């Protein structure tokens, strides 16, 4: 359980606000990286050059990974953006206002993710693995600029 500084003297706080948010972020990113590695290893073990992979399999895999990402990211966003600030009394806004901000962020983030998935799928369908790689590199460069 996370103890706040109001419950304990300042020198006995178990975890700080910044460290709690950092841990939530690290767990979220680490879980996504592990899921991607598992998917990449599983795909590389099952695919061979002589067997043609149907279009449905990559789309279903991407959809499942995206749903996993949404579930994990929603939990991390709620913990890092609503629960932790409320526990450490770092926010003065009401919970409904925080949930509204979170909802707007989810909509914006979802639109960005759908655009990203579209670019990756189009690159993969049009040019195969090389197209997927090029689309991924361009996509990451664009996302880093914004």
Q: Give me the tens of pLDDT residue by residue for the chain, a chain 146 residues long.
A: 555 555 555 556 688 888 998 999 899 888 888 877 887 777 776 655 544 545 556 667 767 777 887 888 888 888 887 888 888 887 777 778 877 888 888 788 778 878 888 888 888 888 888 888 888 888 778 777 76
Q: For the whole model, what pTM was predicted?
A: 0.58
Asked if the structure places residue 104 within a domain, the reply is yes
Asked if the structure places residue 5 within a domain, the reply is no
Asked if the structure places residue 3 within a domain, the reply is no
Q: Is the CB of residue 135 less than 8 Å from the CB of residue 123?
A: yes
Asked if the structure places residue 4 within a domain, the reply is no
DSSP H helices, the chain, are 17-46, 56-78, 84-87, 95-145
CA 72 to chain centroid, in Å, comes to 7
Domain that holds residue 65: 10-145
Structural domains in the chain (count): 1
Asked if the structure places residue 1 within a domain, the reply is no
Enumerate residues 6+ apart whose C-beta is below 8 A from 69: 32, 35, 113
Asked if the structure places residue 130 within a domain, the reply is yes
pLDDT of residue 51: 47
Q: Is the CB of residue 113 less than 8 Å from the CB of residue 66?
A: yes
Asked if the structure places residue 2 within a domain, the reply is no
pLDDT of residue 49: 55
Q: How many CA atoms lie within 13 A of 11 on its CB side?
A: 0
């Amino acid at each position: 359980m996370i103890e706040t500084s109001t419950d304990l003297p300042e020198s006995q706080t178990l975890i700080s606000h910044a460290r709690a948010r950092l841990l939530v972020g690290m767990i979220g990113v680490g879980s996504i990286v592990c899921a991607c590695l598992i998917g990449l290893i599983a795909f590389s073990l099952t695919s061979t050059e002589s067997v043609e992979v149907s279009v449905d399999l990559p789309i279903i895999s991407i959809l499942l990974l995206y749903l996993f990402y949404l579930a994990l990211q929603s939990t991390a966003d709620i913990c890092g953006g609503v629960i932790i600030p409320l526990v450490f009394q770092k926010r003065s806004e009401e919970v409904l206002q925080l949930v509204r901000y979170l909802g707007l962020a989810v909509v914006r983030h979802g639109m960005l993710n759908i655009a990203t998935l579209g670019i990756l799928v189009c690159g993969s369908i049009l040019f195969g693995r090389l197209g997927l790689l090029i689309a991924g590199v361009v996509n990451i460069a664009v996302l880093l600029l914004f």
